[in-house]
Amino acid sequence: MKSEYVVIGLGRFGMSVAKTLIQNGHEVLAIDKDEHTVQEISSDATYAVQIDSTDEMALEQLGIHKYAHAIVGIGEDLQASILTTLLLKEMEVGRITAKAKDEHHGKVLSKIGATMLSFQNEIWGNG
């Protein structure tokens, strides 16, 4: 079954997850604040957009609420990770998987709406 995913934060983790989803035939909206990173995946992803994921208006304009599953791959910028996860929850995205830097970060993400956590030492995808 083909699904639509949004992957936010295209570091090693996010890029690996996005590429694996694409290889498995899923549609992917890839988001990152870095233009070079967005260009890198733009030929493979269904959509690739450079925005600040903490910008609520930008997320709304992309129709984020239509996606059933969002993966937040932001790990180092805790504030951006937490705010992005909170915005996705408020926009009623069905499932939110978030990358957590450590156990404390994971607890915060769970309390604000992440339905699944991935810790930095876990490996997803093929990368």
Q: Is 123 helix (H, G, I), strand (E, B) or coil?
A: coil
Query: In the prediction, which pLDDT does 116 show?
Result: 87
What's the domain range around 24?
A: 4-119
- In the block, tokens 């604040």 appear at 33
CATH of the domain at 76: 3.40.50.720
The whole-number pLDDT of residue 41 equals 97
Is 57 among the domain residues? Answer: yes
Structurally, the chain folds into a number of domains equal to 1
Q: Which residues, given as ranges, of the chain have pLDDT below 70?
A: 1-2, 120-127
| Residue 99 lies inside a defined structural domain of this protein | yes
Whether residue 87 is contained in a domain is answered as yes
Residue 126 lies inside a defined structural domain of this protein: no
Domain assignment present for 124: no
Helical (H) or strand (E) element with 99: strand 95-100
Residues 30-37: contacts with CB within 8 Å, 24+ apart?
Answer: 30/6, 31/6, 31/7, 31/62, 32/8, 34/10, 37/10
Domain assignment of residue 125, yes or no? no
Dist. CA 73–CA 108, nearest whole Å:
15
Note the pLDDT tens digit of each residue in 95-120: 999 999 999 999 999 999 999 888 76
